[in-house]
């Protein structure tokens, strides 16, 4: 084999290796592809979280339930801490005290729906959508 062909093969090999390195650089190295969810989603999420794979547990939970990121993270944290989580997600209105409920109802019946939603959000930390559903349900 002539020296020119050997040089051409060596250059080609170097270029291919560099391309492979560049393509792999964008992939996360420390994450493992999550397993497919098993029959009981809560058990799968708990298994991942207890194995230290919190990001994957949140991802699986979001895929199974459609929860927003923050709610899924809170649910995973509750499971790891020994609590439980209901697949229905957070129930809008749970934890609203009677004074807030009465004030929101009063504002709603006076036609001040936006102010009622603001009152509920200020006192409960609900999302805008949850507070709106809660007020509309009064």
* Per-residue pLDDT at 78 exceeds 50: yes
- pLDDT of the residue at 32: 40
Residue 44, phi then psi, degrees to nearest 5: -65, -45
Q: What is the pTM of this model?
A: 0.36
- pLDDT of the residue at 115: 93
The residue written with tokens 């997600």 in the block is: 89
Confidence bin at 89 (pLDDT 50/70/90):
very low
The stretch 90-95 carries a mean pLDDT of 52
Quick check: 96 and 124 in contact, CB under 8 A?
A: yes
Average pLDDT of the chain to the nearest whole number:
76
The residue written with tokens 């209901």 in the block is: 86
Residue % of the chain over a pLDDT of 90: 12
DSSP string across 8-67: HHHHHHHHHHHHHHHHHHTS-SS--PPPPP-SSHHHHHHHHHHTT-HHHHHHHHHHHH--
């Amino acid at each position: 084999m002539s020296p020119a062909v050997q040089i051409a093969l060596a250059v080609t090999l170097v270029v291919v290796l560099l391309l492979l390195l560049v393509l792999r650089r964008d992939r996360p190295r420390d994450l493992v592809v999550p397993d497919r969810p098993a029959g009981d989603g809560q058990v799968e999420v708990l298994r991942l979280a207890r194995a230290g794979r919190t990001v994957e547990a949140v991802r699986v939970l979001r895929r199974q339930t459609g929860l927003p990121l923050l709610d899924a993270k809170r649910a995973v944290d509750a499971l790891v801490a020994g609590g439980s989580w209901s697949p229905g997600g957070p129930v809008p209105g749970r934890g609203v005290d009677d004074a807030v409920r009465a004030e929101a109802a009063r504002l709603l019946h006076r036609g001040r729906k936006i102010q009622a939603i603001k009152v509920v959000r200020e006192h409960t930390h609900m999302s805008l959508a949850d507070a709106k559903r809660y007020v509309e349900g009064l």
